[in-house]
Homo-oligomer: A and B are copies of this chain.
Amino acid sequence: MQDKKITINDVAKLAGVSKRTVSRVINRSPLVGENTLKKVEKIIKEVNFSPDKQARGLASSRSYLLGLIYDHDDSLSIVQVQQGALSVCAQLGYELVVHPCKSKETDFIEECINSINRSKLDGVIILPPISENKQLAAALRAANCPYVRIASVDFDDKLNIVVSDERTAMKEMAEHFVDLGHKNIAFISGPLSYRSSIERMEGFLFELRSANIEIAESHILEGENSYESGMKCAMELLTKETRPTAILANNDEMATGVIRVASDLGIKIPEELSVAGFDDNIYASRIIPSLTTIKRPIENMAALASQKLINKVQSEHSAPIKLCGEVKPHLIIRESTTKKST
């Protein structure tokens, strides 16, 4: 901790160049002679110099802070997301600031923007479902705050969004249901105001139709993506005269609610009822029966989003950014689904 007081001036002196040159080296400016570059870099290493973020920020009006905006109700996978984002941030000298917000309150956008301004965040990553919020995106643009949205559909400039193809993933799920011989299928959608809900639903229904299976309208319920909502919808579905033999829920939370209700009603899963979800949240593999679901590679998506964001933020400066993995969701088959009983 001794070396904390080393400043750009010290480096400049030691290297026998000007401050400005050191600054150029730090910022990877191309306008530095090979020799000077080497000399300066050597000194920097030797004295273990790292530039002061605040000073840098004050001078260049950047903060090296990235924000993570998400709805605080819907934060189950937030840990993985943070991990993914951090893996990139740490590498590139950015810090991650968390900002859960309450999308139900009317002034949440204003509140977000204020907070961003106060901390001068260089940019933000927005998680679903508020990543779909148009007003938020517009406000961000107005405030001149770069953002990257994580979403399931391509509703923004390529540079502003990381998408996972949930529609196709849902087809896999539908195939799985078909393979198992289910015909009397029910679906609990997410709120239809979300594009992702529509995507998932359409992907599922479309593929089912290709297999000549049509879900009765009464077997499609609009849920709210919560456990409680899953229970409510399940109760409705499972007390019908002709009960479905398989239920797909828009997410694992709701699927968990379905399993709960089925259990309470004495309906055996998967023997009498197949249930599946979406997300592969932490508990999907641990509940009993373990849940067939679709894994969303949310950690990778967050990493990718960070990369995109930092690229934008650094625009002119060149930054060597490693690209990271796949963002394709895929089916995971577990205990909660099985062949339709005959």
Contact = CB atoms under 8 A, between A and B. Distances in A.
Contacts of A287: 283, 286-288
A120 B72 CA distance: 27
Interface residues of A, number: 45
Interface string A87-111: 0001001011110100000000000
Nearest to A115: B90
User: Which of the listed residues A72, A83, A115, A283 has the most CB atoms from chain B within 10 Å of its own CB?
Assistant: A283
B63 A72 contact: no
A86 B98 contact: yes
A259 interface: yes
A113 B4 CA distance: 12
B58 A63 contact: no
A55 interface: yes
A27 interface: no
A260 B282 contact: no
Copies per assembly: 2
A256 B118 contact: no
A143 B1 CA distance: 6
Contacts of A76: 79, 282
Contact of A79 (B78, B120, B144): B78
Tell which of A120, A143, A256, A287 has the most Cβ of chain B within 10 Å.
A287
Contact of A100 (B63, B75, B82): B82
A194 interface: no
Contacts of A115: 90
A143 B263 CA distance: 55
Given A96-B97, A263-B288, A53 B119 contact: yes
